[in-house]
Amino acid sequence: MYQPNMIQSQLETLIERYFSQPERRIVVDVGTKILEQSGKNERLYYVVSGELEGYYHDASKVETKVFSASSGAFIGVHSFFSGSWEASSSVVVKKQAELAWIDRNTQAIDVALNGPLTAQFTPVIVNELSRRQRRASQEAIAKEKALQKLHTAEQMTTLGQLAAGIAHELNNAIGVVSSKADRLETTLIELLEEVHPEASQYFDFGLMRGQNVSSSEARKRGREFEKTYGLDKATARQLAKANPDKEHLSSWLANPQQALRFWQMGLIFMIYD
């Protein structure tokens, strides 16, 4: 999954900060259901090792697999950060797993420096949104390929019935993932407006324009930024990739690391939209 270096570094910091305590780790056996769809969930899990799978049941009780998770994944992101405390899918252990966790009573560490818990976990929300959007894209592609194969088959009546069944199953999965992704996107945007209102211009810049310069142009302009504004090489290169307008450049230079952080978040949304 696509993860810019800055966001990956933030994820590693969060894991060390909140998921390294031995008293908040458990080992769960194969077949254990750690989340029940529509059941109460007040924990955010981090998968240290093992494998888990998520399933969604529609009104007719048809079961659809919506994700697989292994080491490095987070479980319960939507129910934990949406504030509903209600699991949107059932999660079952497929290979003995070690899980670390925090719950709604976990206190944020160093709020003055890092912000509230929701702000600190923004990279996790972004990462989960990206995963779900990619999952929706993969399901849509799989649906299209399956239907194309069925359309070329000779026994149209029988295969037509199969196509309807496959389309129904794939549409279930796509609908579930897309719905959750939309809700997570809304949650993230509201969080940014609440905690970092000044960041919206950089987030929108990444979302609407992305990276619109070539690598050679970014290198050239990066050297200019490095020399003119005394920036380190990595920051100057990233700022050149963002390519802000001249009239807005001064606001980026006021706090380039923060501006680039939120620009990268917007860029992720653009890539997976």
Task: Output phi, psi for 130, to 5 deg.
Answer: -60, -40
| Numbers of helices and strands, H then E, in the chain | 11, 6
pLDDT at 62: 86
Average pLDDT over residues 179-192: 69
Average pLDDT over residues 244-264: 82
**For strand 25-28 and strand 90-103, is the pairing parallel, antiparallel, or unpaired?**
antiparallel
Report helix angle 122-151 to 5-18, nearest 10: 120
- Check pLDDT > 60 for residue 39: yes
pLDDT at 199: 73
- Check pLDDT > 60 for residue 273: no
Which residues share a beta bridge with 46? 74, 100
- Check pLDDT > 90 for residue 91: yes
**For strand 43-57 and strand 90-103, is the pairing parallel, antiparallel, or unpaired?**
antiparallel
Tens of pLDDT, residues 188-242: 667 766 666 777 777 777 777 777 778 888 888 889 988 998 999 989 888 888 8
Give the amino acid at 232. D
- Check pLDDT > 80 for residue 175: no
pLDDT at 249: 83
Per-residue pLDDT band for 15 (boundaries 50, 70, 90) equals: very high
Q: Map residue 90 onto helix, strand or coil.
A: strand
**Per-residue burial over 70-103, b = 16 or more CB atoms within 10 Å of its CB, e = otherwise:** eeebbbbbbbbbbeeeebbbbbbbbeebebbbbe
pTM: 0.58
Higher pLDDT, 117 or 157: 117
Higher pLDDT, 70 or 165: 70
- Check pLDDT > 50 for residue 2: no
Q: Where are the alpha helices (DSSP H) in 97-210?
A: 111-114, 117-120, 122-151, 156-195, 200-209
Mean pLDDT of the chain: 82
Tens of pLDDT, residues 94-137: 999 999 999 999 999 989 888 888 888 888 888 777 777 777 77
